[in-house]
Structure 1
Amino acid sequence: MEAQATPEVKTTKEQWIQYLALVFSAFIAVEAMAFQSPAIPVISTYFEVPSHLAALIVLSFYIMSATLYPITGRFADKYGRKKVLLVGMAIFAISEFAAAVSPTFTFLIVARIFQGVGVACIFPIVIAFIGVIFHEGARGMASGIFNSVQAIGAMLGAGLAGFLINIYGWPVIYWVSGGLATIGFFVILFFVKESKGVVSGKLDYFGTMLLFIIAASVLSISTLVGQFGIASPYTIGTIVTAVLAIAIMWFYGNRIANPIIEISILKQKVFALIVLIYLIYTAAMQLLLYSMSFFLALRPDGNVAESGLFFMFNSGAAAIGGIIIGRLSDKVNNKKLLIGTYILPLTAVLLLSRIHAYTETTYILSLAAFFGIGAATAILIKYALQNIPPIKYGSGSGLLAIVRDFGAPLGSTTGIVLFSQFNAKAKTSSIVQQATDAGVSPGLMADVQQAAATNGATISDALSAELISLGIQFEDLLKTALGDGSTSAIQNLSLTVAGFFVVIMILVLLIPQKQKEKAPVIVAPFEESLSEKLETTTN
């Protein structure tokens, strides 16, 4: 789309104070979400759960947030955005403290569910306020700030998490997040003004149930594949359930006045393309980040602090890129800018597909920054807001938020499951090959595979005697195999992510160069905030 000139309208100091308070709440939520990435391998070890089931830490959070985004967006439009935001901050703080004292894995998952509820009351509201506070010509910059604050939150969260966990253990991340959420509650209470949209009709309860089924089934597929296999009746049944629920949601949503998901917005070509691009980009990014988390933590001599540094460098670069790209989106052709921006992460993942278990950490961190600098979320938000009616900013931004929270767990859980499978296969193959080359009897290869599956915890007496007679220690075989397994896993997953970015580039090319001009958006006078103007017109 060509950049369009808009009248110069000054944003007041009062509006900027409101916006900074709002992005602080988003910062807190993102920081808490980023804490999870380096922590998952440690938490799974602490509670003795397999890596693919550790994905429940992510799934439990995102299933709730993804389901509730459209609901909280509508509640915010109807009852007040500030009210819903305060409720969300309170729930989030309490559930973070609860997670910190989790006695069991199940208790932690329940706490994560409530964290998802809290975050669902935060993100769509902050995005909606961008449309409320800023005129169209300033939304690119505002979206860039929002994106950069998220990136800074992710950078600090991931970077600090690795070091804090090494010193204090995994519960510390929840204590810190709970404390910050408490501060955020009072910041919102004192500095943000109330704002409402327009909502008619009753809440779509049937649509809400369908949305929950879709979220639970779609987001569980990767974990089910890892646990039972793709051909399992559980996996197949879940896939069928997801497809049927999506079809019913579309059919049903087109036939009622106030669906839980605004299907009418999805019928706009540009918005639908942006939603699809956002979904794929988020999934690809999370797939890479969580894969790298396990790669850096599990490779020989690796540790969780390196995983945190990877997230920190990636998010730090995204913070810089978000500001630059957000500013440029107000001045240059957005379609061309999207293409140029996505070339950066595509190049980065192609380079990552060439690394191995012993690649220098500094080189990997430089690629993390190169990947992060190509953060184009600001452009996507601007495109989306241009195609959402102002009175439905809450519902529309809720839909955009749900896309992100479908993409994030899809990518992260798929990354965890695929890394586990690629790693296990290559690790076992490496140990078997080493054992064969060392002269271990072919009849003991089943014992070798069993020992590989348990990382040496279970070694048969016959295999132990054979290794001793050959002067071999299984630990030496395992160390080499761990390097081979992690190398194979990260190279395959990097190429997978590269494929996602190729698809994204194709979708960007389908965005129309120009859109028909819309009726001018009513902008508040200098002395009156836009949020107050909307409140006046809706009362």
Structure 2
Amino acid sequence: MQQSTAPPVTPTAVSPARRVAVLTVMCLALAVVVGMLASLLVAVPDMARDLGATEAQLQWIMNAYGVTFAGLLLLGGALGDRYGRKGVLLAGLAVFTLASAGVLWIDDVNLVIVLRGLAGVGAALVMPMTLSIITNVYPPEERGRAVGVWSGVSFGSALLAVLLAGGLLEAYSWRSVFLVNAVLAALALLAAAVLAPTSRSAVTARLDGVGALLSVVGTGALVFAIVEGPELGWSDGAVLTGFVMGVGGLSAFVWWELRCAHPLLDVRVFRLRGVSAGSLIITAESIAMFGFFFLGLQYLQQILGYSPIRSGLALITMAFGAMVFSPLAPGFARRYGMRAVMSLGMVLIAAGLGVLAVTVDGGGIWAFMSATSLLGAGIAFAATPATEAIVAALPPARQGVASALNDLTRELGGVLGIAILGSVFNTTYRSETGEAVRGLPAEAGDAARDSLAGALRAAAETGGRSGERLADAAREAFNSGMTDALIGGIAVVVLGAAAAVALLSHRGRSGRRRSIPDGSAGGGR
């Protein structure tokens, strides 16, 4: 394959003070788009009551954002490299702001779902640009710490968003969550317009439209199937069609990218061990953490009886651990090696999940906060070096796509975590509530089997000793299901860490940076 003849791209020359300002603004933009999904986890119950939404509609209020977000990330990164990262960032923030603000005046739940999908389009343009702009303005010797800050914010902001949303819901309606997100996005838009430097790839290759279409169809269909599988059933026709389209679209994407002169993502980049190992680590920890996050909020509110804001406060130690240790992780990686630090992070994550698994039934809040402290530190030591490994393995001219690849592994890991670990939980919960709902009216029995909230409502309506037995059985079933899901998360973390360590341990010629074709994201021969 022909080697690249493009001139090397050096970081944009900006003063140290402006670099800090750019990092701050990029982290604000990142926090807004990442925190939106976490905010909705808290706001959805109020939205259901106000809008009269069905369970399926509530699922799509959450999932429309994730589907468009994940499906368009690679395209968003490529657009930034091709047409200018600052312009794409500003366009994404504008779309996100308008879509979030539009919810304030709408009472039709289907229109809310459409606007959530549109906000996901904006987020897909914003998230990869934040990291690529940071890597473009920081010189290599300072880039690791800046990426560490970005990585800490990418996770910590989700937890802080839960706290903020809980506080807003204590005093205002659910619409206040959308208002605050729109205002913060508008502030990030104005600040980025003033402070962010312009940059783009030095290689002016034609945009890979076919690759972009195949990536959107393949990723979007796969995410749809994963999201709908637990709700509709894995053998449902729509779910099976989604899997077929997803696998077919992504297979066609790989086939096309291997033959395209200027690919959207040169899939040979995965021959670079930093990219492969980093992607494995991020995917595995995202599966475990998003699965925990989805179940942990329910545990705090429905088992421990916490309000939304108290639930947010219970997770603050996790955010603190992630945000404090993330900037330190690159220094540890340089001193002790990336493999050792990422392994430490995954061990801490597995330990935190293990503590939760053995203390779910009766452990209380202090056991929960101790475990989440381990999880926060583990995320810092695992995800930060993994992110740096991906962006460092790819050339500066393709940092938009490099950033999008990093973000895509996070988003797909999150969707997989909620779907897979949620499915493990549901299987156990339904099995263990089967005996308790026997004898109840059909509608009450179905509600009790569907969720803990439905079981507690049915118990209150039944009353007496029968109602108490149903409530106790449902809580025990929830604890058992959460324990099984956490054990599943531990298995994912261990397998992902073992595979990444094996990749980084292997030595040979292919571990060096390979030549890349003009305008590609990476490559090899």
Normalising by structure 1, what TM-score? 0.83
Question: Secondary structure of 1:195's partner?
Answer: coil
Distance 1:64 1:327, change over 3 A: same
Partner of 1:34: 38
Is residue 2:474 matched to residue 1:482? yes
State which of 265, 268, 290 in structure 1 corresponds to 2:269: 265
Q: Deviations over 1:343-373 (max 9, x none)?
A: 1110010111123355322321221122111
Partner of 1:387: 393
Q: Deviations over 1:294-339 (max 9, x none)?
A: 2222226344334323443322221112122133223331111111
Cα distance between partner residues in 1 of 2:326 and 2:174: 30
Cα distance between partner residues in 2 of 1:223 and 1:391: 34
Partner of 1:329: 333
- 1:405 partner amino acid: E
State which of 69, 83, 88 in structure 2 corresponds to 1:84: 88
State which of 403, 413, 416 in structure 1 corresponds to 2:409: 403
- 2:294 partner amino acid: Y
Cα distance between partner residues in 1 of 2:482 and 2:458: 27
Cα distance between partner residues in 2 of 1:169 and 1:457: 23
Q: Deviations over 1:147-178 (max 9, x none)?
A: 22334422321112123223323221111111
Cα distance between partner residues in 2 of 1:444 and 1:155: 38
Is residue 2:221 matched to residue 1:217? yes
Is residue 2:506 matched to residue 1:502? no
Q: Once structures 1 and 2 are overlaid, which stretch shifts more, 346-355 or 223-232?
A: 223-232
**How far apart are residue 421 of structure 1 and its match?**
4.5
**How far apart are residue 243 of structure 1 and its match?**
1.8
Is residue 2:150 matched to residue 1:134? no
Partner of 1:6: none
Partner of 1:121: 125
Partner of 2:6: none
Cα distance between partner residues in 2 of 1:166 and 1:275: 39
Is residue 2:243 matched to residue 1:239? yes
Residues 92 and 181 in structure 1, CA contact (< 8 A), matched pair in contact too: yes
- 1:501 partner amino acid: V
Partner of 1:192: 196
Is residue 2:167 matched to residue 1:175? no
**How far apart are residue 501 of structure 1 and its match?**
0.8
Is residue 2:63 matched to residue 1:59? yes
Map residues 260-299 of structure 1 onto 2, 5 A cutoff. 260-299=264-303
Residues 279 and 407 in structure 1, CA contact (< 8 A), matched pair in contact too: yes
Cα distance between partner residues in 2 of 1:511 and 1:451: 47
Q: Deviations over 1:468-516 (max 9, x none)?
A: xxxx444322321231122112111111111111112212222335786
Residues 158 and 312 in structure 1, CA contact (< 8 A), matched pair in contact too: no
Q: Deviations over 1:435-469 (max 9, x none)?
A: xxxxxxxx77979845744647779xxx97xx9xx
Partner of 2:517: none
Residues 222 and 417 in structure 1, CA contact (< 8 A), matched pair in contact too: no
Cα distance between partner residues in 2 of 1:456 and 1:356: 19
Cα distance between partner residues in 2 of 1:292 and 1:92: 28
Cα distance between partner residues in 1 of 2:388 and 2:316: 26
Cα distance between partner residues in 1 of 2:287 and 2:356: 17
**Cα RMSD for the two superposed structures:** 3.0
Partner of 2:518: none
Partner of 2:435: 429
Give aligned-pair identity as a percent: 18
Question: Secondary structure of 1:512's partner?
Answer: helix
State which of 367, 373, 376 in structure 1 corresponds to 2:371: 367
**How far apart are residue 57 of structure 1 and its match?**
2.9
Residues 355 and 367 in structure 2, CA contact (< 8 A), matched pair in contact too: no
Residues 51 and 416 in structure 1, CA contact (< 8 A), matched pair in contact too: no
Q: Once structures 1 and 2 are overlaid, which stretch shifts more, 18-27 or 318-327?
A: 18-27
Is residue 2:64 matched to residue 1:72? no
**How far apart are residue 47 of structure 1 and its match?**
4.4
Q: Once structures 1 and 2 are overlaid, which stretch shifts more, 344-353 or 98-107?
A: 98-107
Q: Deviations over 1:235-292 (max 9, x none)?
A: 3332222222221111111111123333232332331232232222212211111111
Residues 277 and 504 in structure 2, CA contact (< 8 A), matched pair in contact too: no
Residues 28 and 188 in structure 2, CA contact (< 8 A), matched pair in contact too: yes
Partner of 2:521: none
Map residues 444-459 of structure 1 onto 2, 5 A cutoff. 449=445, 452-453=448-449, 455=455
Question: Secondary structure of 1:510's partner?
Answer: helix
Alignment gaps of 5+ in structure 2: 1-12, 515-525
State which of 114, 131, 155 in structure 2 corresponds to 1:110: 114
Q: Once structures 1 and 2 are overlaid, which stretch shifts more, 447-456 or 490-499?
A: 447-456
Residues 431 and 477 in structure 1, CA contact (< 8 A), matched pair in contact too: no
Cα distance between partner residues in 1 of 2:76 and 2:377: 31
Cα distance between partner residues in 1 of 2:39 and 2:152: 17
Residues 82 and 207 in structure 2, CA contact (< 8 A), matched pair in contact too: no
Cα distance between partner residues in 2 of 1:417 and 1:304: 24
Question: Secondary structure of 1:502's partner?
Answer: helix
Residues 91 and 115 in structure 1, CA contact (< 8 A), matched pair in contact too: yes
Residues 279 and 406 in structure 1, CA contact (< 8 A), matched pair in contact too: yes
Q: Once structures 1 and 2 are overlaid, which stretch shifts more, 12-21 or 347-356?
A: 12-21
Question: Secondary structure of 2:201's partner?
Answer: coil
**How far apart are residue 104 of structure 1 and its match?**
2.7
**How far apart are residue 220 of structure 1 and its match?**
2.2
Cα distance between partner residues in 2 of 1:122 and 1:444: 50
Q: Once structures 1 and 2 are overlaid, which stretch shifts more, 403-412 or 343-352?
A: 403-412
Distance 1:353 1:47, change over 3 A: farther
Partner of 1:4: none
Question: Secondary structure of 2:503's partner?
Answer: coil
Partner of 1:536: none
Distance 1:444 1:21, change over 3 A: closer
Distance 1:304 1:196, change over 3 A: same
Q: Once structures 1 and 2 are overlaid, which stretch shifts more, 307-316 or 383-392?
A: 307-316
Cα distance between partner residues in 1 of 2:260 and 2:54: 44
**How far apart are residue 411 of structure 1 and its match?**
1.8
**How far apart are residue 379 of structure 1 and its match?**
0.2
Normalising by structure 2, what TM-score? 0.85
Query: May I ask how many residue pairs the two structures share in their alignment?
Result: 493
Residues 77 and 129 in structure 2, CA contact (< 8 A), matched pair in contact too: yes
Cα distance between partner residues in 2 of 1:517 and 1:269: 9
Question: Secondary structure of 1:330's partner?
Answer: helix
Residues 166 and 305 in structure 1, CA contact (< 8 A), matched pair in contact too: yes
State which of 333, 338, 341 in structure 1 corresponds to 2:342: 338
Cα distance between partner residues in 2 of 1:127 and 1:260: 18
